[in-house]
Amino acid sequence: MSKRKKLTLLVVFIAALFFLGRPEKNIRIVSLSTTHSEILLELRAHNYLVGIDKHVSNGRLKGIKRIDSYITNTNEILSLSPTHVIIAFENRQLEKDLFSTEIELILLPPAKNLDEVYNQIFFVSKMVNKEREAQNIVEKMKKKNLEVISMVEPSGKRIYHELGYSYGIYSLNENSLLGSFYRELGFVNIVDEINNQDQYPKIEESLIIEKDPELIIVGHKESFGSRLENRPNWSNISAVKNEKIIYLEENLANNWGTSSVDLLEELAIQTGAIEKEENNTKQTFYWWFYIVVIISSVLIMNSRTRKTKEYS
């Protein structure tokens, strides 16, 4: 091989090492979705982000603007010169405004199950050249999911999950991620019986009273006036009478990203579908203590019997 060819191959090899796996510098992402903002941060893709949803819980992020996705306008987004904008729910006005630009608007709607969660993590990772990181995250999530499900003791209890109350009562059914969790945990979701393809149907208060849930999960901020215990006609519901109302941390309850399996575990513990880890640890300790006591007692008895025989 000539020196020239060797030199050319060396240059190509060095260039490949230099550029392989490097992020595209021109990608600038505005994420108006809390879920996908957190996915990108978990993937360590900070360098791609120029704007994220204000509800992201990752503290202050230098050089990344916080945006309220509910009240933002197109001009605010355009001022950040993004190449991609991620949304979790349809936004016709934004779609119309960005149509004539080169900005790519990406809609990633709420996942219906964990497989869709994993797919969205992989999709986002490809945008920022972080597939390996995504693979590691998903593998850990799958492992933890199997661990949680393996400990579940299905009870068949009736459960009701409330998403909103102030502007009508909204819940969720089996077509949603949380709905799939309740099914996996062995509960009967009272809203599943409603013939509605929507993940988050609006329901009547009379249905909740009639179905009499034994457990109630609340996934939204509560003012004193709207707390379930204070609502007229709710006092005879089993979950209210027996104080089986669980209030979830809102950010955890409403996202479907890398924290999804943490949410599953939290639900499993709070609802009693699995025992808390400290209870399992205590139980294991008591079992071992009990075994040690029995073995010690047997050894002492054998020793005494042996000595008695020797003296006799």
**Tens-level pLDDT at each residue, the chain (312 residues):** 554 443 333 333 333 333 344 445 589 999 999 999 999 999 999 999 999 988 887 656 778 999 988 888 899 999 999 999 999 999 999 999 999 899 999 999 999 999 999 999 999 999 999 999 999 999 999 999 999 999 999 999 999 999 888 788 999 999 999 999 999 999 999 999 776 678 899 999 999 999 999 999 998 776 545 678 888 889 899 999 999 999 888 878 888 899 999 999 999 999 999 987 544 444 555 455 557 667 766 676 666 666 555 555
Same domain as 242, residue 127: no
pLDDT for 303 equals 63
Q: Are residues 207 and 249 in the same domain?
A: yes
Can you give the C-alpha Rg of the chain in angstroms?
27
Number of folded domains that form the chain: 2
| Last-in-domain residue among 127, 147, 167 | 147
Domain that holds residue 179: 153-270
Q: Is residue 1 part of a domain?
A: no
Cα–Cα distance between 51 and 106 in angstroms, integer? 15
Residues 140 and 34 in one domain: yes
Cα separation of 62 and 50, whole Å? Answer: 10
Residue 242 CA to residue 233 CA, distance in Å, equals: 15
Residues 84 and 175 in one domain: no
According to the model, what pLDDT value does residue 97 have? 93
For residue 198, the model assigns a pLDDT of: 82
- Calculate the CA dihedral of residues 36, 40, 41, 44 and round it to 10 degrees: 170
Nearest in space to 219 (alpha carbons), one of 179, 186, 175, 171: 171
As given in the structure block, the two tokens for residue 45 are 């893709």
- In this structure, is residue 74 part of a structural domain? yes
Residue 191: inside a domain: yes
Length, in residues, of the chain: 312
194 bridge partner residues: none
* Token output for 181: 């969790």
Which CATH number fits the domain that encloses residue 116?
3.40.50.1980
- Chain-centre distance of CA 172, in angstroms? 15
Say if CB 211 and CB 188 are below 8 A apart: no
Domain end among 251, 270, 289: 270
Selection from 240, 270, 228 nearest residue 253 by Cα: 270
Q: pTM of the prediction?
A: 0.77
Q: Is residue 293 part of a domain?
A: no
Same domain, 123 and 164: no
The predicted structure's pLDDT at residue 11: 36
- Residue with tokens 């062995």, as numbered in its chain: 186
